[in-house]
């Protein structure tokens, strides 16, 4: 896998994808239970599928943003060396994530902000790394900004169940050390600007307090929608949820909001799991949407 994918620009800011890993673990009709087999024959979708298995390729990565003199990481991948018995694809990984970050010119102590869309296993793992048998903040000089309500949900024992048990592990080894170090900035998600240039929008469904992150720079807009979408087919069919969405009705509503937002503002979407460049634009024709990688 290529280490990095080059800088893109949004206004006066620069954005680069920092890979953690790529996987193709699930069949399309498992990842997207409403999947229609006729869609598999669409030529523009073939490039998003693994040629050996036919399964959709899911990229696990961060977005590194250089904005107003700050190094900002949006979501932190899966992390290394973490026990994930209920999520085997992420169990005791050893990836070159930090080497790829360094290749982009940024060392962990040079990161100023970490912005998190939600606290799932593949979005918060590199919050911490193992040092002398302890999980410590990977980015010791950063403020980690995320939803207070998301933390509260995954801290409440009454929410511990089969779906959420890995997320409780994530909270213990990848979030609690951030809290203990005093680096967390817990926010109320209202659509307002949480740090200069970045707005947190409520897009629940995938998790109860999932957020999508809007960036404004130089008159242009980017949207980092987290797991509102897992595969480009969901743009043509926004009612199709992924198997990982906890509340399917709210997830579909949030997806519709994100597509409207991006289409109306001509925003670049920087996706969390799409393969290829992982970024693109949404266009609307009547009630339908289409996706173009950029």
State the CATH number of the domain containing residue 92: 3.60.15.10
Is 256 a domain residue?
yes
pLDDT mean over 246-267: 98
Q: Locate tokens 């109860």: which residue?
A: 208
Q: How long, in residues, is the chain? A: 294
Res. 157: pLDDT tops 90: yes
Q: How many CB atoms lie within 10 A of CB 30?
A: 13
For the chain, the straight-line distance linking the first and the last C-alpha, in angstroms and rounded, comes to 19
pLDDT mean over 120-140: 98
Q: Are 258 and 267 in contact (CB under 8 A)?
A: no
36 vs 212 pLDDT, higher one? 212
Q: Residue 44's pLDDT is what?
A: 75
> What confidence tens digit (pLDDT) does each residue in 15-39 have?
999 999 999 999 999 999 998 867 6
Which structure tokens are listed for 191?
């659509």
Is 3 a domain residue?
no
Q: Residue 36's pLDDT is what?
A: 80
pLDDT mean over 101-128: 98
Q: Residue 4's pLDDT is what?
A: 67
pLDDT mean over 67-76: 98
pLDDT mean over 181-192: 98
Is 2 a domain residue?
no
Is 241 a domain residue?
yes
> Minimal CA–CA distance to 93: which of 121, 119, 114?
121
Q: How far is CA 196 from CA 67, 193, 200, in A?
A: 9, 7, 11
What global pTM score does this model have? 0.97
Q: How far apart are CA 136 and CA 72, in angstroms?
A: 19
Res. 42: pLDDT tops 90: no
Q: Residue 128's pLDDT is what?
A: 99
> Minimal CA–CA distance to 126: which of 100, 162, 87, 163?
100
Range of the domain at 218: 8-293
Say how many domains are in the chain.
1
Which structure tokens are listed for 285?
């024709």
Is 1 a domain residue?
no
Q: Residue 95's pLDDT is what?
A: 98
Q: Locate tokens 């307090």: which residue?
A: 209
Of the pLDDT bands very low, low, confident and very high (cuts 50, 70, 90), residue 216 is: very high
Q: Residue 41's pLDDT is what?
A: 62
Spell out a b/e string for 222-232, using b for 16 or more CB atoms within 10 Å of the CB, else e: bbbbbbbbbbb
Of the pLDDT bands very low, low, confident and very high (cuts 50, 70, 90), residue 1 is: very low
Of the pLDDT bands very low, low, confident and very high (cuts 50, 70, 90), residue 100 is: very high
């Amino acid at each position: 896998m290529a280490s990095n994918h080059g800088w893109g620009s949004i206004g006066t800011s620069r954005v680069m994808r920092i890979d953690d890993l790529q996987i193709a673990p699930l069949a399309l009709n498992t990842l997207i239970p409403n999947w229609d087999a006729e869609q598999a024959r669409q030529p523009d979708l073939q490039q998003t599928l693994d040629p050996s298995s036919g399964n959709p390729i899911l990229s696990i990565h961060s977005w590194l943003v250089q904005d107003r003199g700050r190094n900002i990481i949006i979501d932190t991948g899966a992390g290394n060396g973490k026990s994930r018995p209920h999520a085997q694809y992420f169990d005791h990984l050893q990836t070159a994530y930090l080497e790829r970050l360094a290749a982009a010119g940024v060392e962990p102590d040079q990161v100023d902000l970490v912005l998190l869309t939600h606290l799932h296993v593949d979005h918060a793992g590199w919050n911490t790394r193992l040092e002398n048998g302890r999980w410590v903040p990977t980015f010791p000089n950063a403020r980690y900004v995320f939803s207070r309500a998301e933390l509260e949900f995954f801290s409440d024992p009454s929410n511990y169940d089969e779906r959420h048990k890995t997320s409780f592990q994530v909270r213990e080894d990848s979030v609690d050390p951030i809290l203990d170090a005093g680096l967390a900035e817990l926010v109320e998600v209202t659509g307002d600007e949480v740090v200069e240039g970045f707005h947190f929008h409520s897009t629940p469904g995938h998790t109860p307090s999932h957020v999508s992150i809007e960036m404004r720079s130089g008159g242009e807009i980017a949207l980092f929608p987290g797991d509102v979408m897992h595969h480009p087919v969901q743009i043509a069919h926004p009612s199709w949820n992924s198997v990982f969405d906890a509340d399917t009705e709210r997830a579909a509503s949030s997806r519709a909001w994100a597509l409207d937002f991006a289409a109306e503002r001509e925003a670049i979407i920087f996706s969390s799991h799409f393969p290829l460049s992982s970024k693109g634009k949404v266009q609307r024709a009547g009630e339908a949407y289409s996706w173009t990688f950029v």
